[in-house]
């Protein structure tokens, strides 16, 4: 039998989902091949924002602070009427993940930093200008046939597992015969990307102009860029709408001239709501747009793919290292699908709010929301119901019993480590199975027998020791009290596998769990 280069994981696609997977897998010391058809980063900015949970994932890769340096944080979101008067104002509030709750980004710059991060790992081979033509599975691995587009030759590689992050049109999904059900909206949208020449009042705020005549999204993007989006009306010529003359007509209606911006590009695209029938086919997994597509209204398309990568990669690492059985991989879609569906539902509802075309209904909308905003707590409830859902898995790879903490991702406070240095919690205890407790340690025999370390969380003012972290903000301790929990068994992704309160027994570890040391790898680019 011919011997081909062999990898632990092959990643098809090198966009935000694929490059995040490459970083996380590379950090584990796995041998990874990345297959990407294009020669460079896609120049057009698509994603416009992300959130604290995603930055926490990129923190695992040691890149969060570098990425945040190029983002805009703490900006409010306003829904305004045809006259520019606000009827909804939302300011995302932190859920305690150690990063700003929402940040605006310039996607090409984000991808550049993430790709630089992959360069830290000699165990990750990036094959640019290569196209995956076929995936052929056997019982023990996957054979991939590749076309080297630079040399016009074919080559084959093998991998134990494959992550297909090759976009909404995913050739891999098509090869596997997996359906991609849902709808594509008939209404097309024009996206205008610009370079900022002179800043104007409101240049750094996101505003949804909910004008029945021409709904428009007015969005800040950092590093000297700004974006507008608007729908193609019935009877309008798409080709004409992306000409400079047509674009300037739209921008002048926003009070913007050539004194403020330079037009970089304009394109027309469609909104989709789609879900793959299944996200796993044997040893091949779909992730990102290959698994699901959603409208852009709450800026979660890219973020959903990054969450996919985080959920899947630690499980692949555990299976490949022998610390967990392969059955853990069945929980990938079980855990991720409900969150993706909820995010998509919220995006669709927000889109309907923005694009209402009937003037009487729009007027009623504006009046109703302004009146409701005077009710104490309404704005907070609206934010919680319409914006990004909590980081929680209601079912999946979790213990069958426990406290209200089960399935939640814990908050991430700033803590003092064993040497008294200030750090984010995940940088001290993250990336591994760990028992976290408040109060006196107990005999968690099955967990310690499996090699799981135990860490006590102590309040501000206490001394740091080798088995404690000092919660300087009281954030995690307050959360544990709220969930009536004294001990947590955390998965490597920071989600609670098992929990117990006073007088309760901590559920046992998952069958087959054996902690194996991972090779040391750098955490900064």
Per-residue pLDDT tens, the chain, 525 aa: give them.
467 999 999 999 999 999 999 999 999 999 999 999 999 998 776 888 999 999 999 999 999 999 999 999 988 889 999 999 999 988 888 889 999 999 999 999 999 999 999 999 999 999 999 999 999 998 899 999 999 999 999 999 999 999 999 999 999 999 999 999 998 887 889 999 999 999 998 888 899 999 999 899 999 999 999 999 999 988 889 999 999 999 999 899 889 999 999 999 999 988 899 999 999 999 999 999 999 999 888 889 999 999 999 999 999 999 999 999 999 999 999 999 999 999 999 999 999 999 999 999 999 999 999 999 889 888 888 877 767 888 999 999 999 887 899 999 999 999 999 999 999 999 999 899 999 999 888 878 899 888 899 999 999 999 988 899 999 999 999 999 999 999 999 999 999 999 999 989 999 999 889 886 554 444 444
- Residue 174 burial (CB count, 10 A): 12
- Spatial contact of 121 and 19, defined as CB atoms under 8 Å apart: no
pLDDT at 56: 97
For residue 1, what is the DSSP state?
A: -
- Spatial contact of 487 and 443, defined as CB atoms under 8 Å apart: no
Going by CATH, does the domain composed of 414-500 fall within 3.40.1280.10? no
pLDDT tens-digit series, residues 312-354:
999 999 999 999 999 999 999 999 999 999 999 999 999 999 9
- Please, where in the chain does CATH 3.40.30.10 lie? 414-500
- Please, where in the chain does CATH 3.50.50.60 lie? 6-71+100-181+275-350
Distance (Å, whole) CA 277 – CA 114: 30
Q: Tokens 């995040």 map to which residue?
A: 20
CATH assignment, 6-71+100-181+275-350: 3.50.50.60
Distance (Å, whole) CA 205 – CA 193: 16
Which string of b and e fits 304-320 if b means at least 16 CB within 10 Å? Answer: bbbbbbbbbbbbbbbbb
What residues pair up with 90 in beta bridges, in sequence order? 77
For residue 390, what is the DSSP state?
A: P
pLDDT at 113: 98
pLDDT at 173: 97
pLDDT at 516: 65
pLDDT at 443: 79
pLDDT at 2: 64
Listed as own residue / partner, the contacts of 248-256 with beta carbons closer than 8 Å and 24 or more positions apart are 250/190, 250/192, 250/214, 250/216, 251/192, 251/194, 253/214, 254/209, 254/216, 254/218, 254/228, 255/200, 256/200
- SS3 string, 188-246, reads EEEEEEEEECCCCCCCCCEEEECCCCCCEEEEEECCCEEEEEEECCCCCCHHHHCCHHH
pLDDT tens-digit series, residues 190-204:
999 999 999 998 888
């Amino acid at each position: 039998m011919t011997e081909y280069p062999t990898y632990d994981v092959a990643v098809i696609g090198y966009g935000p989902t694929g490059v995040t997977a490459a970083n996380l897998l590379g950090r584990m010391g796995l041998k990874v091949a990345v297959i990407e058809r294009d020669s460079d980063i896609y120049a057009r900015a698509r994603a416009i924002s992300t959130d604290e949970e995603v930055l926490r994932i990129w923190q695992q890769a040691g890149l969060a602070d570098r990425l945040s340096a190029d983002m805009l944080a703490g900006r409010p979101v306003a829904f305004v009427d045809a006259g520019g008067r606000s009827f909804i104002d939302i300011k995302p509030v932190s859920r305690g993940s150690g990063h700003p709750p929402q940040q605006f980004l310039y996607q090409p710059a984000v991808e550049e930093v993430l790709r630089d991060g992959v360069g830290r790992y000699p165990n990750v081979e990036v094959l640019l200008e290569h196209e995956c033509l076929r995936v052929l599975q056997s019982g023990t691995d996957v054979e991939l046939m590749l076309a080297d587009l630079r040399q016009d030759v074919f080559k084959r590689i093998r991998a134990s597992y494959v992550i297909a992050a090759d976009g909404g049109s995913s050739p891999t999904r098509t090869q596997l015969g997996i359906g991609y059900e849902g709808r594509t909206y008939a209404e097309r949208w024009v996206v205008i990307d610009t370079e900022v020449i002179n800043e104007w009042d409101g240049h750094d705020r996101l505003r949804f102009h909910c004008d029945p005549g021409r709904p428009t999204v007015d969005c800040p993007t950092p590093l000297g860029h700004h974006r507008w989006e608007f729908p193609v009306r019935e009877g309008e010529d798409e080709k004409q709408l992306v000409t400079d003359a047509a674009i300037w007509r739209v921008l002048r209606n926003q009070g913007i001239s050539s004194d403020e911006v330079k037009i970089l590009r304009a394109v027309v695209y469609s909104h989709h709501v789609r879900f793959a029938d299944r996200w796993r086919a044997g040893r091949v997994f779909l992730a990102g747009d290959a698994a699901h597509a959603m409208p852009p209204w709450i800026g979660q398309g890219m973020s959903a793919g990054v969450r996919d990568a985080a959920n899947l990669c630690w499980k692949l690492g555990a299976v490949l290292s022998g610390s967990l059985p392969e059955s853990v991989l069945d929980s990938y879609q079980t855990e991720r699908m409900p969150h993706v569906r909820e995010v998509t539902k919220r995006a669709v509802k927000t889109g309907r709010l923005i694009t209402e075309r009937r003037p009487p209904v729009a007027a009623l909308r504006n009046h109703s929301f302004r009146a409701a905003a005077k009710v104490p707590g309404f704005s907070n409830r609206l934010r919680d119901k319409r914006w990004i859902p909590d980081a929680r898995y209601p079912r999946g790879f979790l213990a069958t019993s426990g406290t209200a903490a089960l399935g939640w991702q814990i908050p991430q406070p700033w803590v003092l480590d064993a040497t008294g240095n200030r750090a984010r919690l995940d940088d001290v205890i993250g990336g591994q199975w760990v028992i976290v407790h408040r109060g006196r340690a107990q005999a968690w025999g099955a967990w310690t027998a499996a090699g799981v370390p135990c860490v006590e969380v102590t309040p501000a003012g206490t001394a740091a020791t080798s088995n404690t972290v000092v919660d300087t903000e009281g954030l995690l301790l307050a959360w544990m009290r709220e969930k009536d929990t004294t001990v947590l068994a955390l998965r490597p992704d920071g989600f609670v596998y098992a929990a117990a309160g006073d007088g309760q027994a901590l559920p046992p570890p998952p069958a087959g769990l054996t902690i194996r040391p991972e090779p040391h790898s750098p955490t900064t680019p």
